[in-house]
Chain A
């Protein structure tokens, strides 16, 4: 625990401040939410390629029945790490990149509530991700699938360090997620500009708030489950050991009590993104704003009561099955309401199909497919056939890629000009969009059929007799097209970062506060904090003029911003190290490992957050 009180809200005191440093070390020590956002995005994209390459190997292995491209053990490691990486190191941090960049700008704040905590969360995430992937270097990558069901993870059936890497890696990442959740909740609740009432916040900020609440409530549950698993593996407890009276099904409950909110942690940010983009390119305010907000909150709430729909085959009995069928059906309703509200926003609008908007439309088209296949296996009896088959693989890729990732890519094209002051190339963008649409659908649509024809998931090969070759071949071809689309995206980012067409402050004519800053924004975001009077402040001429008069001119004196600090990265390294030492299973080594954490925490706590003589 750090000593409190040293990190007050970002100071707004004007003081002479030198121009921002841009060297390598300035990135290491930065506490600027915008730079942290960029680092999150870059890291998540790197992990996206690492996990994507694994997917391509998996697809190559499955292209023909009974292939032996890679060994079963390696295959199991690949699909385990593909899932773990895509969820915890790609989809989540990429959404967090957007939270970081946009939330302070959208609510009219200079930074998040706890800038150093923000940096710490990033470094913990990065080190946790590197730690998790380093398991490949020692040939002991996790191999018990991303859900790690007991008893496959117990010492008896998973000797070696593979599962230790997994459980410790996820614990480390969980710490970062809780820190992020606390930070964004505080920021959104407490640091809104004057007049920025909750019901005037952009939808993206709203969905960040809901997601953050899900993070701080769902992560502790998996945290406890991972502690149990760690104790089972290292200290001989019997939480999930049937011989000692432990019930492996408890793991499944704990995992999915976390796991289902996790699904909404992945999808709600994307819903927020497209709720901001669609109105801009329709020239119409969001249709049914309060309904869309409430639907998001409702999804967050009901998301807690549906976890056992992942467990219909576990044998919970007809009463529990029925309850979870009903709850799951109910959650489909607010999701549907959102889709109709987006359609109604576009209805009667003036639609401009930039790449960002194309991705939004693409999301609506393909996410609906994922939602509807979800309704199919929300029906418990049907689930008994579809569960753990490729039908489910198709379903959740339609939801996570077709929903979450498409939304974030839409956001990438939409906000890149703000981040860089240059547009992403629209031609390449359209190539990216269409190759994504074709590659994605070609990869995942045939999987519905493979699943309906009885191909189970998590198998390193399949019998030729199943007669699902054609679907697997289409999927493999699609996967490689999808891979190419990702290369196009990165090429576009790199090219446009250097030489994209310059972008003005508000290139799309968007309504929200982030567009009332120069592109890219000052490191202090707003020279003076504007006052907000409506939901679309930049769409009302008088309000816009007032706001721009405050936000655009350079200040005579720059606002005071928090000091850069080495301690976040040092503390993050100490925390990662202390967790990694848990692998030894020797209590005094683990105890020693805590020392650097305590030391770094104290150094952090006693370092002034602001330049000397200010703030305190």
Chain B
């Protein structure tokens, strides 16, 4: 009976010096959590920016507190018995209690109630996050490749790579599959992950079964994500960005796609019309800090490669700290060059013209496509509007002239096991490109001019 009473209301034995060690252990997580709040985490799972992520996050918070309750009970009881029932003399002969039915029922039913309290909202959330798709949802087909992402917009007829553009507040339904190994689509701030499975071949007339991921981005910004299912040597270097733009900004991006004709794209396009960049930036920054994130500070300047009105495009998303672009460069080679190295490249620039010539005349076009040109390869990433991308190499480094030159020269040095040939070694099924330094620079300049 003594057992019963004490289990019901154990008082924490505060003030006992012997348990200070245990309290230290208890305090450690708190300290770490505080340390965590100090920084900015572009892939934080606890900083939701979509309906999907919010459902998960609120569920997580409630489960977190339930588990903390159980942990507190167990640790307090443990501390109590460890302190209280320490052997004082070897002659002690404690009462030989073999069990207590009431207690057993109690600590079966108690936890059972808690897990029910966890399971019910969990199952509700399972159905809420896999609910029927609304009619206005935009469909995007995501294909995983070793080690990059392909995004196909069937509605718009666009295929792009590694940077997924989405309009804010519009539901999006991602159809996920892979052509090689299993990958997993994960942009933590926009919600949970789902695998990109290689879809088995089926008999004529049977339906192939795809995975879907359905969510509505609620705020503009550039969100970072990366592959979350081990997919081979460069799994760690399979990153991506999701650019959530305003409705107008997204439309502008689409329009540009079709207006673009490779290097012939008129640079004096009226980009001011692409929403209100400045307002967007302010909205993005404001909303993010309101969310406690504050990690997506607008750094349009870092990304502005053209200056002038074109900088506006970058305003739709605010990017993450430029540090991200250091990733590959710091890992595999020299320091990252200045962010604006490619500034001032225009389609009428002779270097660009030369680059276009080299690009379209080389094996590049066996794998790569550029809208409006003879380059229509489908094996590698589609390079249309390449100049608007923030990153290169599947999100691993900043997209600028110097990084791009290095990438074209030596992709495997930056990203092992990538299926792209370098200037002096083969890759995939293709021989070395054999481009000279001058040609590489021209191609890079051409690609960056694609906006």
Contact = CB atoms under 8 A, between A and B. Distances in A.
A458 interface: yes
Nearest to B328: A66
B235 A459 contact: yes
Contacts of B158: none
A243 B202 CA distance: 9
B9 interface: no
Given A317-B130, A465-B320, A348 B95 contact: yes
Nearest to A387: B193
B32 A445 contact: yes
Interface stretch (A18-26, A200-208, A467-475): A467-475
Q: Say what secondary structure dominates the interface of chain A.
A: helix
B355 interface: no
A451 B100 CA distance: 41
Contacts of B146: 157
A454 B234 CA distance: 18
B94 A71 contact: no
A322 B103 CA distance: 30
A49 interface: no
A487 interface: no
A430 B242 CA distance: 51
A280 interface: no
B71 interface: yes
Given A337-B107, A384-B191, A470-B35, A291 B99 contact: yes
A245 B81 contact: no
Interface residues of B, number: 115
Given A353-B86, A376-B60, A315 B326 contact: no
Given A382-B60, A384-B193, A467-B39, A151 B182 contact: yes
B36 A385 contact: no
Interface in A333-364: 333, 336-337, 339-341, 343-344, 346-353, 361, 364
A379 interface: yes
Contact of B94 (A315, A348, A365): A348
Interface in B28-42: 28-29, 32-33, 35-36, 39-42
A386 interface: yes
Contact of B111 (A282, A336, A387): A336
Contact of B60 (A157, A337, A385): A385
Nearest to A79: B230
B94 A284 contact: yes
Interface string B351-394: 00000000000000000000000000000000000000000000
Interface string B1-35: 01100110000000000000010010011001101
B92 A384 contact: no
Please classify how large the interface on chain A is, using the bins under 10, 10 to 19, 20 to 34, 35 or more.
35 or more
Interface in B168-220: 176, 180-182, 184, 186, 188, 191-195, 197-202, 211-212
Contact of B43 (A284, A330, A343, A455): A455
B45 A385 contact: yes
A149 B74 contact: no
Contacts of A579: none
Interface stretch (A220-228, A246-254, A268-276): A246-254
B247 interface: no
A344 B236 contact: no
Nearest to B77: A343
B278 interface: no
Interface string B331-346: 1100000000000000
A384 B194 contact: yes
A314 interface: yes
24 contacts: A72-B417, A144-B230, A242-B201, A243-B201, A246-B200, A285-B97, A285-B98, A289-B98, A329-B115, A329-B116, A351-B82, A353-B82, A376-B60, A380-B122, A383-B192, A384-B193, A385-B191, A388-B184, A449-B33, A453-B45, A457-B230, A461-B327, A463-B323, A467-B295
Q: A-B pairs with the 4 shortest C-beta distances?
A: A384-B192, A454-B43, A459-B236, A465-B324
